[in-house]
Amino acid sequence: MPESPAPMPPPPLPPRVEPERLRDLGAASLDAEADRLAGVERATRSAMAPYDRHLREIRARREEIATERRRRERAERHAARISVRQMAGSPQMPSLSEALLAEPSPVHDDQPLAAMRAFLASGGEVGFGYPSRAGALGFTDGRLLRNASTWGEARRLYAEGWEPGAPGNPGVRVHLIGTRVERVVDAGEVLVDLR
């Protein structure tokens, strides 16, 4: 790597006039002092110009790298969503309602719902429950509400006829992973990742 040239020293500052002496100067002398400092400021800015261009180029190149990283992340997310859509309904990714009824259970009963991976049929990864209280599935018999926090509890409630949701609000409450966005969707639209 070639050695960087030594930076140019800044233009020298004129001698400082102490504040007590400034009081004794006339208007013309004050103007002359201000002009001297303005000249040094112009010379300093001129000396800095190549460094400013250099910094702008560095920032532009870093932004190009950041843009490429974001492009790759978008492509990865898109590919993951396509993969989820292709696997939807397969034995590796059944709907929540299919997985809850499957015999034998595809998931160990002690498995916390917070640790399970799930996706919407459209491909977005979701967690069960509210973003602030993740890992709970609500079930209702039409009047009462029960929450399940493990796969075994969810299977037991579903087998006993309880439906996902809350009284008057059927469906599975999910939140998009990494966001505060939540929604209630049909159990058939939630895919459980068994891979």
81 shares its domain with 105 = no
177 shares its domain with 104 = yes
Whole-prediction pTM value? 0.58
105 shares its domain with 78 = no
String of DSSP letters for 64-85: HHHHHHHHHHHHHHHHHHHHHH
Number of domains the chain is built from: 2
Give the burial class of 64: count Cβ atoms within 10 A of its Cβ; 0-12 exposed, 13-18 middle, 19 or more buried.
exposed
Neighbours of 13 (CB within 10 A): 11
Q: How confident is the model at residue 134 (pLDDT cuts 50, 70, 90)?
A: confident
Coil, strand or helix at 155: helix
Find the mean pLDDT for residues 21-37.
88
63 shares its domain with 117 = no
> What is the C-alpha R_g of the chain?
33
Contact call for residues 128 and 150 (beta carbons, < 8 A): no
79 shares its domain with 117 = no
25 shares its domain with 80 = yes
104 shares its domain with 47 = no
Segments forming the whole domain that contains residue 109:
96-192
**Chain segment 75-114, per-residue pLDDT in tens:** 887 777 777 666 665 667 898 999 999 889 888 999 999 9
pLDDT at 174 over 90: yes
Chosen domain end from 31, 57, 86: 86
Contact call for residues 177 and 190 (beta carbons, < 8 A): no
64 shares its domain with 106 = no
Percentage with pLDDT > 70 across the chain:
92
113 shares its domain with 164 = yes
Chosen domain end from 86, 116, 139: 86
Contact call for residues 182 and 131 (beta carbons, < 8 A): yes
29 shares its domain with 114 = no
Contact call for residues 184 and 169 (beta carbons, < 8 A): yes
123: left (phi over 0), alpha (psi -120 to 50) or beta: left
Angstrom distances, CA of residue 133 to CA of 59, 88, 90, 185: 41, 27, 29, 17
Chosen domain end from 55, 86, 117: 86
53 shares its domain with 115 = no
Task: Quote the longest CA-to-CA distance of the chain.
Answer: 99
